[in-house]
Amino acid sequence: MFNFDWEGILVTVIAVVSAMSIHEMAHALVSYWLGDPTAKSQGRLSLNPFRHIDWLGVLCLLLFHFGWAKPVPVDASYYKDRKTGIIWTSFAGPVANFLLAFLCVLIYMGLIRFVPSFVISDAGSFLLTVLATSAGMNIGFGLFNLIPVPPLDGSKVLFSFLPDDQYYRFIEGSPFFMLILIVLIYLGILSGPLSMLQSNIMEFFVNVSSMMVGI
């Protein structure tokens, strides 16, 4: 008989859904703010995870805590400054993940500080696990997408110094870039540095949250 950890599965699903949904929603929202209605017209201005799922990215997220979702469609011709618009839209996803991660940590520390009796209950323990897992998953998701390899967000931000024609051609990427990325993940070359950054960011969030709630 298989003994599934249903609680662990549920916690992981919640963490993955939160990371993917807030990331892609942020892309769509900032693009919309900058005048581009494309994402909204295609139903991507939404927190519904099924509108954003890339199953290969989900698999990597579950296995390695680093993954990606289906890119939000963007029409940069709507932006007043095309390159600047792409940069802000790209940067929005990782920033949203980091903000959500910090919020999860802050709530976690707040619960420990102000409602310790709830924390030791079954519901409280489950909620703390969800918050901690979601924080870690969001940090990992945000960091992974900042890697400067097309089509990840980091390439659109880091290489903004290139001349316009080279910049647009480069950030479009190709299947070759994605193949390189998958190989790097499989070989574990990215896991060490990303895990270290993830731990450092988590520690920073915990320290700041602890000070804020008075622990």
Domain ranges of the chain: 6-213
Residue of 188, 192, 193, 154 whose CA lies nearest to 173: 154
Average pLDDT, rounded, for the chain = 85
59 against 21, higher pLDDT:
21
Q: What is the phi/psi pair of residue 5, to 5°?
A: -90, 85
In the DSSP assignment, the letter for residue 72 is P
pLDDT score, position 182: 72
pLDDT score, position 12: 85
Mind listing the pLDDT tens digit for each residue in 67-96? Answer: 667 888 888 889 998 888 988 999 999 999
pLDDT score, position 126: 94
For the segment 187-202, the average pLDDT, to the nearest whole number, is 86
Confidence band (pLDDT; 50, 70, 90) for 3? low
Q: What are the structure tokens assigned to 45, written together?
A: 């201005």
141 against 167, higher pLDDT:
141
For the segment 22-45, the average pLDDT, to the nearest whole number, is 92
Mean pLDDT is lowest, of 87-96, 140-149, 184-193, for 184-193
Query: Which positions ≥6 away from 172 have C-beta within 8 Å?
Result: 150, 151
Confidence band (pLDDT; 50, 70, 90) for 171? low
Check whether 2 has a pLDDT greater than 60: no
- Measured CA to CA, the distance from residue 108 to residue 124 in angstroms comes to 10
Burial of 113 (C-beta count, 10 Å sphere; 0-12/13-18/19+): middle
